[in-house]
Homo-oligomer: A and B are copies of this chain.
Amino acid sequence: MQDGTVTSPRGYRAAGIHCGLKVSQPDLALVVSDLPATAAGTFTTNKMRSAPVILSESRLASGRAQAVLVNSGNSNACTGAQGDADARAMTAAAAAALGMPEDMVVVASTGVIGRPLPVERITAGIPSLVAALGSDGMAAAHAIMTTDAFPKTAAVQVDLGDGVVTIGGIAKGAGMIHPNMATMIAIMTTDAPVEAAPLRAALRNAVGRSFNCISVDGDTSTSDSVFLLANGAAGVAPIAEGGPRYGAFLAGLTDVAGRLARLIVKDGEGTTRVVEVAVRGAASDADARRAAGAVMTSPLVKTAFHGGELNWGRISAALGRSGAEVAPDRVAIAIGDVWVVRRGVGIPAAYPEAEAGVRAPEVRVTIDLGLGEGAFTGWTCDLSETYVKINSGYLS
């Protein structure tokens, strides 16, 4: 099974409704486990953290949660003490309607920054939201969207040898996306039984190879959050850290997170091309990440990809300013499998074939720095006039 959502694992229900934060689109989502679950989260590294981020991180210190409440249309960020109170009020209303302790509810908000949250519309909507809970996760996937063009879902089944567990997820995000942080909202669920500590380790590992490897525009949100609930409903033996069962679970989780992450890049605001940037031969993995990051966020590189132009000089220039160790006469660059630069210098005979590669809807760039064993692979998108249009009229 490759398709599915947060309700694909056993013992989860979800819902999404319109409560009035947006004009008419769905704007309030809930994911609930039938049983109390172990839980983990990763949150934005932005120092301007939203009220829901601060509240949810603090609650997840217990390693337990049973419900995730998300609104779109307003991020409840840069909203001061009122924002803190509003985030708590949201979880209190959901906990009351669900009949569970308030501290088992975590929360995320996404949308415009710096405007007071009309929290009464959310609390008024919660009874309808709870009434709508069911086995279809698509309404929740829709209700967490902001500028997203399509809902993002993924699920996978993992055979542990002694039984099969399922991992599912939904995500949103199309702008303010940058690597090395959890820069969007994702909710993942599993019916695997995993204690809090190994669950946290697995989430950190999976996020590091998925959501932290993508960039749309280099901007990091104040709000973004990844949640993972594990309720054990699959009825297999607990998964401890290490060993083949944990490895299989981690691979499945990374698969779901990676697919959700790449869907976010594909839906990047104004995206017409998805670009994979694989750096190898770096002096260290950190250097490889720095080099890839500079290429993935360069407006000049991204506009060249938009135009379908083989302007590898802009890639070289981005590498040169990345902060990574770079020896100009050792750099090699390939588009797909075609090497267009070796020892830092272009190979004109290779250009025609590579030019076809950069005009494809999915472009693969490999950069070999020729220095060491460091490697990193990330995903970005082109920069189009449409991105500018979307973001120059966001408030109106």
Which residues of A approach B to under 8 Å, CB–CB? 45-49, 75, 77-80, 112-115, 175-176, 178, 181, 217-222, 297-300, 303-304, 306-307, 309-314, 316-321, 326, 328-329, 331, 341, 343-346, 383-385, 387-396
Contacts and interface: CB of A to CB of B under 8 A. Distances in A.
6 contacts: A47-B320, A78-B346, A112-B311, A113-B311, A178-B321, A221-B317
B45 A321 contact: yes
A80 B307 contact: no
Query: What's the number of copies of this chain in the assembled complex?
Result: 2
B115 A326 contact: no
Nearest to A385: B385
A299 B345 CA distance: 31
Contacts of A299: 217-219, 299, 383, 387, 391
Nearest to A221: B317
B222 A309 contact: no
Contacts of A390: 303
Contact of A78 (B77, B218, B328): B328
Given A222-B317, A313-B114, A383 B394 contact: no
B389 A385 contact: yes
B393 A346 contact: no
Most chain B CB atoms below 10 A, which of A303, A311, A319, A321: A321
Given A176-B300, A219-B300, A321 B392 contact: no
Contact of A346 (B45, B49, B115, B297): B115
Contacts of A393: 307, 309
Given A346-B115, A384-B388, A394 B304 contact: yes
A320 B183 CA distance: 13
Contact of A307 (B221, B307, B321, B392): B392
A376 to B, nearest CB: 18
Given A299-B218, A318-B219, A344-B80, A311 B394 contact: yes
Given A114-B346, A385-B385, A176 B329 contact: no
Contacts of A219: 298-300, 314, 317-318, 321
Given A47-B326, A80-B343, 13 more contacts: A46-B321, A49-B320, A77-B316, A113-B313, A114-B346, A220-B320, A220-B321, A299-B387, A303-B388, A307-B392, A309-B392, A383-B388, A384-B388
Contacts of A396: 307, 309
A343 B83 CA distance: 14
A113 B317 contact: yes
Contacts of A298: 218-219
A119 B383 CA distance: 34
A396 B359 CA distance: 14
A48 B222 contact: no
A45 B313 CA distance: 16
